[in-house]
Amino acid sequence: MKNNGIRLNKYIASAGYCSRRQADRLIAENKVLLNGAIAELGTIVMPGDTVEIEGKLIVAQTEEDLIYLAFNKPQGIVCTANPKAKNNIIDFIDYPQRIFTIGRLDKDSEGLILLTNDGSIFNKIVRAENQNEKEYIVELNRPYNRSFVESMEKGVQISDQMTNPTQVKPLSNTKFKLILTQGLNRQIRRMCDALGYRVIFLQRIRIMNITLGKLSHGMYRKLSQPELRDLFELLNK
């Protein structure tokens, strides 16, 4: 933490307790104490200050404490931190420090997912309005045609919402790469269902500048410094 202090919501998020937005709600509900007194929105935390939430001392991580992992999620693993959930991702990875996923992949999908203890970057990556790219390999149950590609690229009506335009790169008559800038629940499967196709394989291979590469199923790696530098540059545009 720098000597000129840090905003309280960012301090709480950097401790991995919750997102900045959730921190603001806790502050507004008078659940956050700064040096023993009820904190206000916009408060600056200075070195030596103590922050508590409902009796729990909150300690923000330094840059050396922050963890950023890329994980190749196998099918069947559930993206939840709930310890009661069978096959949950946190128990599967068994990392020695507290981490959480940035976004999710559904149980039947596989591929790249990021994990961290840095709550300050969560919303920057997952919010739809930030238009962050995610790339997938998709395989369908039967050959698709040009009309399918055009519909996917223009956007598809699912439930009461039209999806954003996508980028499609055919790989075979049943397989293609897809770039999304949204993250609706089971979006790709629902888009294909709406057009009369069923997804039989779905793998995420890229989140922004972070790629899956040759990372083996069920394995994780730390993000490199060049990857982190480029990621933060994209997030701060």
Query: Which uninterrupted H or E stretch holds 168?
Result: strand 167-170
Domain 133-207 sits in CATH 3.40.1640.10 = no
Q: What is the mean pLDDT of residues 67-80?
A: 95
Extents of the domains making up the chain: 6-58, 68-127+216-235, 133-207
SS3 assignment, position 155: coil
Q: What is the mean pLDDT of residues 129-153?
A: 94
- Both tokens of 224, joined, read 């490199």
Structurally, at CATH architecture level, domain 6-58 sits in Roll (3.10)
Query: 169-200: per-residue pLDDT in tens?
Result: 999 999 999 999 988 889 999 999 999 999 99
Domain 68-127+216-235 sits in CATH 2.40.280.10 = no
pLDDT of residue 166 exceeding 90: yes
The CA–CA distances, whole Å, from 172 to 7, 23, 43, 134, 144 equal 51, 47, 55, 20, 9
> Residues 134, 135, 141, CA angle at the centre, nearest 5°?
130
Query: 78-135: per-residue pLDDT in tens?
Result: 998 888 899 999 999 999 888 899 988 999 999 999 999 887 788 788 875 678 999 9
Q: What is the mean pLDDT of residues 36-52?
A: 89
Q: What is the mean pLDDT of residues 27-56?
A: 90
Catalytic sites, residue numbers: 106
| Banded pLDDT at 16 (limits 50, 70, 90) | confident
Q: What is the pLDDT of residue 1?
A: 41
Q: What is the pLDDT of residue 26?
A: 93
Q: What is the per-residue DSSP string for 63-90? A: TTT--EEEEEEPTT-B----TTSTTBHH
Asked if residues 34 and 50 have their Cβ atoms less than 8 Å apart, the reply is: yes
Q: Do domains 6-58 and 68-127+216-235 have the same CATH topology?
A: no
Mean pLDDT of the chain: 90
Q: Which residues contact 227 (CB under 8 A, 6 or more apart)?
A: 209, 210
pLDDT of residue 221 exceeding 70: yes
Alpha-carbon distance of 181 to 208, in angstroms, equals 10
| Banded pLDDT at 2 (limits 50, 70, 90) | very low
- Farthest CA pair distance, the chain: 64
Q: What is the pLDDT of residue 196?
A: 97
